[in-house]
């Protein structure tokens, strides 16, 4: 029976982000949510547990105020959560997150399978899963759209650009899932109320075995802007020629 | 003072939003258009434990406070006011009456399946000639051996065609005036009880409303709710509870009107710029947001008083009165912002405006609320 670990991230809900006059992001009045693909990761973990038995714990790295995120994740199925928190953990880069997770997972958690979302809703760097697997020295299967366990092995369908690849890996292993894998169920009211009663193991920075310096520096974050212009062409020969020429110029056709 | 919701309350709102996005938003326009009762949504609500929110777990509920339940009704109503109303009616009015006035046996027999959403409730109170003027009611209940025999016609019974449990009101002794009415629990299928005319409503169309006809309808004596003669007190207390739910429904509708207005006015371009940059529109949106906040605070305050075990009748009426009138006013403004498009089917504001009107009428008209409030203030 697999012992499953699911990683999740509490992120800014992009619906609340406003753009300032000079394209800077206004994060003053934002709300937070569980990263979208992590909901798929948790749902898949719950589904596997329902099918194969075993255990399920959640793990996250974040700021100490992210307690609502822990409850949100717990309301979706994990039995308990590891909450690695520090005030300085608000802007970690993926390599730091992966190193911190690896530190705790390798020293405190017995596991057969780790499930991550393919990428987070905020940065979508797609780095934490593969880096965590690398640090733990276990196989990593990314872009997973279907997951099962057969004869003690992970069988995964990977959604590739052209077709589907089916792979197997011995456990322990790590998979990162895409949203096609399932449709996360909505937690019931009782699941939400019960979440507060589930155990949360809080791990602070000084309990980690090393400190992690960032190797990236964020110079700034600006909203992407899309320039639109409207050009009208007539239906006569001249207009059509102009239209084609314009498409060629913009690189739409060649 | 503390204006902060608990993490649980915030999560409940978030989960209800997730629920509505997944199950209700996609069908809200269709069930309105076809006047269809969304049995599949009610089933999902039951599965999720949403239909018995504020009742203790021993009675099949989830044991939340009233405010948490009110937040869920608000959030549901933001997506679909009909379904928000069905929740409020079933939980706040009908199940609440049995929870507050039922004996242990009645709670086990009726409240438990209602809180689990296996039975839906309806409140058979209003009569064709007796709306706000309760004294004009004509339904009677006569004790005959071990049974009460109920006769009369009830109208505008929400959930009438789909309910499993009716809390019905009739005079047991009209000469006793306000102490002459009694309340009864009448299960569906009781001989002598039948669903009369179905009403075609302008708004709240997926909530089912009908006449209920009681003709020599015999219910066992043990189905008397509370004491004989306590009916009016039960009705008034239940309406006090129900009104916080209708206020929450109105808040949800107004929130939806604001959401739609903001989103539309930022996209709609006239005179070379989005209409959101015209002061005329900005002022409408500013007023909408301000009144919405005031209505929400009144509503949450009434629920909070109830949770503190303090009297809340006046505050429930104030919340219901204000929230309903603001919903009616601002859904009309939302249609105005949408212009000709808002006047056509297909934009949500058109439904919101029709649904909002209900909140000024159902479970006590705005005039009835003013009577309650003035009665309290001038006491």
8 A C-beta contact, residue A24 and residue A45:
no
pLDDT at site B318:
98
How long, in residues, is chain B? Answer: 379
| Contact residues, chain B to chain A, C-beta under 8 Å | 7-8, 10-12, 14-15, 18-19, 22-23, 47-50, 53, 62-64, 72
CA distances from B46 to A81, B50, B109, B113, B209 (A): 28, 6, 17, 10, 21
- A126 and A69 in a single domain? The answer is yes
The alpha carbon of residue A113 is apart from the nearest alpha carbon of chain B, in Å, by 28
Q: How far apart, in whole angstroms, are the C-alpha atoms of residue B284 and residue B287?
A: 5
A218 assigned to some structural domain: no
Q: Is there a single domain that holds both residue A145 and residue A245?
A: no
Nearest C-alpha of chain A: how many angstroms from B267? Answer: 15
A234-243 pLDDT per residue, tens: 889 999 999 9
Report residue A223's pLDDT band, with 50, 70 and 90 as the boundaries: confident
CB A176 within 8 A of CB A169: no
> Which residues of chain B neighbour A193 with C-beta distances below 8 Å?
8, 62-64
Residues A71, B49: C-beta atoms closer than 8 Å: no
> Is residue B1, in this structure, part of any structural domain at all?
no
Chain A closest CA to B366's CA: distance in Å?
33
Nearest to B22 among A186, A189, A190 (CB): A186
Q: Which residues of chain B does A36 touch, with a Cβ-Cβ cutoff of 8 Å?
A: none
CB-count burial class (<10 Å; 0-12, 13-18, 19+) for A250? exposed
- Judge whether A228 is closer than 8 Å to chain B, CB to CB: no
Chain A partners of B72 at a C-beta cutoff of 8 Å?
189
Q: Whole-angstrom Cα distance, residue B123 to residue B135? A: 17
Q: Is A212 within a domain?
A: no
> Count of CB atoms within 10 A of residue B369's CB?
26
Catalytic: B315?
Answer: no
| One domain for residues A247 and A151 | no
Longest dimension (CA), chain A: 74
φ and ψ of A126, to 5 deg: 55, 35
Same domain for A177 and A243, yes or no, is: no
CATH code at position A88 = 3.40.50.620
Residue of B nearest to A191 (CA): B48
pLDDT tens across A60-89, in order?
A: 999 999 999 999 999 999 999 999 999 989
CATH number for the domain spanning B279: value is 1.20.140.10
Contacts A33 to B, Cβ<8 Å: 14
Residues B77 and B200 in one domain: no
* Chain B interface disruption, residue of A189, A196, A200, most B CBs within 10 A: A189
Chain A contact probe: residue of B4, B6, B8 with most A CBs at under 10 A? B8
Q: Is residue A215 part of a domain?
A: no
The answer on pLDDT for A225 being more than 80 is: no
In a domain, residue B83? The reply is: yes
Whether A214 shows a pLDDT value over 80: the answer reads: no
Structural domain includes residue B2:
no
Between helices B39-47 and B81-88, what is the axis angle to 10°? 50
**Nearest CB partner across the interface for B62, out of A72, A186, A190:** A190
Range of the domain at A241: 226-254
The DSSP bridge partners found for residue A149 are: A154
Q: Determine whether the interchain pair B12/A196 forms a contact, defined as Cβ–Cβ distance below 8 Å.
A: no
Domain with residue B76: its CATH number is 1.10.540.10
User: What tokens does B372 get?
Assistant: 């309650």
Position A105 in a domain: yes
Whether A193 and chain B come into contact, CB under 8 Å, resolves to yes
In this structure, are B110 and B55 located in the same domain? Answer: yes
Residue A240 touches chain B, beta carbons under 8 Å: no
Together in a domain, B276 and B321: yes
**Which residues share a beta bridge with A12?**
A32
Identify all chain A residues contacting B15, using CB atoms and an 8 Å cutoff: 75, 186-187, 189, 192
CA distance linking residue B70 with residue B5, whole number of Å: 12
Token pair of B129, please?
Answer: 């000639």
ipTM of the complex model: 0.84
**B215 and B294 share a domain?**
no
Same domain? For A114 and A166 the reply is yes
Q: What stretches of chain A adopt beta strand conformation (E)?
A: 3-7, 10-12, 18-19, 25-26, 32-34, 55-62, 80-85, 113-117, 140-150, 153-160, 163-170, 173-177, 200-204
For residue A213, is it within any domain? no
The region of weakest confidence among A150-154, A216-220, B35-39 is A216-220
Is residue B212, in this structure, part of any structural domain at all? yes
Q: Which residue, A74, A25, A102, is CA-closest to A201?
A: A74
Q: Enumerate the residues of chain A whose CB falls inside 8 A of the CB of residue B18.
A: 186-187
Of B8, B23, B72, the CB nearest to A193: B8
- Whether residue B53 sits in one domain with residue B43: yes
Nearest CB to B15 within list A67, A192, A196: A192
Q: Is the peptide bond before A122 cis (omega within 30 degrees of 0)?
A: no
C-alpha gyration radius of chain A: 22
Which chain B positions have a beta carbon within 8 Å of A186's beta carbon? 15, 18-19, 22-23, 48
Instruction: Please count the structural domains in chain B.
Output: 3
A234 and A160 within one domain: no
Is residue B211 in some structural domain? yes
Q: Both A174 and A143 in a single domain?
A: yes
Residue A214 counted as domain residue: no
The mean predicted confidence, pLDDT, of chain A is 92
What is the full per-residue pLDDT of chain B (379 aa) written as tens digits? 889 999 999 999 999 999 999 999 999 999 999 999 999 999 999 999 999 999 999 999 999 999 999 999 999 999 999 999 999 999 999 999 999 999 999 999 999 999 999 999 999 999 999 988 888 999 999 999 999 999 999 999 999 999 999 999 999 999 999 999 999 999 999 999 999 999 999 999 999 999 999 999 999 999 999 999 999 999 999 999 999 999 999 999 999 999 999 999 999 999 999 999 999 999 999 999 999 999 999 999 999 999 999 999 999 999 999 999 999 999 999 999 999 999 999 899 999 999 999 999 999 999 999 999 999 999 8
- Among B19, B43, B48, B259, most A C-beta atoms within 10 A, so best to mutate, is B48
Q: Checking DSSP bridges between strand A113-117 and strand A173-177, what pairing results, if any?
A: parallel
Our CA-based measurement puts residue A179 at a distance from the nearest CA of chain B, in whole angstroms, of 15
Q: Is residue B246 domain-shared with residue B357, that is, in the same domain?
A: yes
Domain boundary among B174, B202, B229: B229
Q: Mark whether A61 and A131 lie in a shared domain.
A: yes
- For residue B59, the model assigns a pLDDT of 97
Tell me which residue range forms the domain holding B308: 233-377
- What is chain B's alpha carbon radius of gyration, rounded to the nearest angstrom? 21
Same domain, B371 and B246: yes
Do B154 and B221 have their domain in common? yes
| B257 in the same domain as B197 | no
Residues B154 and B270 occupy one common structural domain:
no
Domain boundary among B58, B85, B120: B120
Name the DSSP letter for residue B26.
H
Is the pLDDT reported for residue A123 higher than 90? no
Distance from CA of B169 to the nearest CA of A (A): 32
> Which pair of structure tokens corresponds to residue B232?
């009016």
A117 and A29 in a common domain = yes
The pLDDT of residue A212 is above 80: no
Q: Please indicate whether, in this complex, the C-beta atoms of A189 and B7 are within 8 angstroms of each other.
A: no
Q: Same structural domain for residues B295 and B274?
A: yes
Give the end of a domain, one of B192, B212, B229: B229
CATH number of the domain bearing residue B169: 2.40.110.10
Inter-chain touch B50–A196, beta carbons under 8 Å: no
Q: Do B219 and B129 share a structural domain?
A: yes
B258 in any annotated domain: yes
A14 and A80 fall within a common domain: yes
pLDDT of residue A224 exceeding 90, the answer is no
Q: What is the pLDDT of residue A254?
A: 80
| C-alpha to C-alpha distance for B379 and B313, rounded to whole angstroms | 14
| Residue B273 CA, distance from chain mean position | 41
A220 within a domain of the structure (yes/no):
no
Instruction: Say yes or no: A148 and A234 in one domain.
Output: no
Domain count, chain A: 2
Backbone angles phi, psi at A19, to 5 degrees: -105, 130
């Amino acid at each position: 029976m697999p012992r499953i670990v699911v990683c999740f991230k509490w992120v800014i809900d992009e619906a609340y982000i406003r753009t300032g006059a000079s394209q800077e992001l206004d994060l003053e009045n934002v709300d937070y949510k569980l990263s979208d693909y992590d909901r798929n990761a948790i749902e898949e973990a719950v589904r596997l547990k329902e099918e194969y038995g075993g255990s399920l714990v959640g793990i996250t790295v974040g700021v100490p105020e992210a307690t609502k995120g822990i409850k949100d994740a717990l309301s979706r199925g994990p039995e308990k959560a590891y909450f690695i928190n520090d005030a300085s953990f608000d802007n970690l880069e993926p390599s730091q997150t992966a190193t911190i997770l690896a530190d705790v997972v390798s020293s405190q958690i017995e596991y057969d399978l780790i499930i991550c979302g393919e990428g987070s809703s905020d940065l979508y760097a797609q780095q934490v899963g593969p880096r965590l697997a690398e640090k733990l020295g276990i196989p990593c299967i990314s872009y997973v759209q279907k997951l099962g366990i057969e004869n003690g092995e992970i069988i995964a369908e990977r959604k590739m650009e052209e077709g589907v690849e089916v792979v197997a890996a011995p456990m322990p292993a790590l998979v990162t899932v895409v949203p096609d894998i399932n449709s996360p169920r909505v937690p019931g009211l009782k699941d939400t109320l019960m979440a507060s009663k589930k155990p949360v193991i809080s791990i602070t920075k000084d309990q980690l075995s090393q400190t992690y310096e960032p190797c990236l520096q964020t110079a700034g974050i600006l909203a992407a802007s899309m320039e639109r212009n409207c050009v009208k062409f007539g239906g006569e020969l001249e207009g059509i020629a102009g239209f084609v020429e314009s498409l060629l110029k913009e690189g739409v056709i060649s | 003072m503390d204006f902060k919701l608990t993490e649980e309350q915030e999560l409940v709102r978030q989960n209800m939003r997730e629920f509505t996005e997944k199950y209700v938003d996609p069908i809200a326009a269709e069930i309105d258009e076809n006047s269809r009762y969304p049995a599949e949504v009610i089933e999902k609500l039951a599965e999720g434990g949403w239909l018995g929110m504020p009742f203790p777990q021993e009675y099949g509920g989830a044991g939340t406070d009233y405010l948490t339940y009110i937040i869920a009704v608000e959030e549901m109503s933001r997506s679909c006011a009909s379904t928000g109303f069905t929740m409020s009616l079933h939980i706040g009015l009908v199940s609440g009456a049995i929870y507050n006035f039922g004996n242990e046996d009645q709670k086990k027999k009726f409240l438990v399946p209602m809180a689990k959403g296996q039975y839906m409730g309806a409140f058979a109170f209003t009569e064709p000639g007796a709306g706000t003027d309760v004294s004009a009611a004509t339904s009677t209940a006569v004790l005959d051996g071990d049974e009460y025999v109920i006769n009369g016609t009830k109208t505008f019974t929400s959930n009438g065609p789909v309910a499993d449990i009716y809390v019905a009101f009739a005079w047991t002794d009209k000469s006793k005036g306000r102490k002459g009415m009694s309340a009864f629990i009448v299960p569906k299928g009781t001989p002598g009880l039948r669903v009369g005319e179905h009403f075609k409503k302008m708004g709240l169309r997926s909530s089912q409303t009908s006449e209920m006809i009681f003709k020599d309808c015999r219910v066992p004596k043990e189905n008397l709710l509370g004491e004989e003669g306590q009916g009016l007190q039960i009705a008034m207390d239940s309406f006090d509870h129900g009104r916080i739910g209708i206020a929450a429904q109105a808040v949800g509708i107004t929130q939806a009107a604001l959401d739609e207005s903001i989103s539309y006015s930022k996209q709609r371009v006239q005179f070379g710029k989005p209409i959101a940059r015209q002061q005329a529109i900005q002022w409408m949106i500013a007023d909408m947001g301000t009144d919405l906040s005031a209505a929400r605070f009144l509503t949450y305050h009434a629920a909070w008083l109830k949770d503190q075990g303090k009297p809340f009748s006046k505050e429930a009426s104030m919340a219901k009165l204000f929230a309903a009138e603001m919903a009616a006013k601002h859904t009309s403004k939302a249609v105005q912002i949408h212009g000709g498009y808002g006047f056509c089917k297909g934009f949500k504001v058109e439904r919101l405006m029709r649904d909002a009107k209900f909140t000024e009428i159902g479970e006590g008209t705005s005039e009835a609320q003013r009577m309650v409030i003035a009665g309290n203030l001038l006491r």
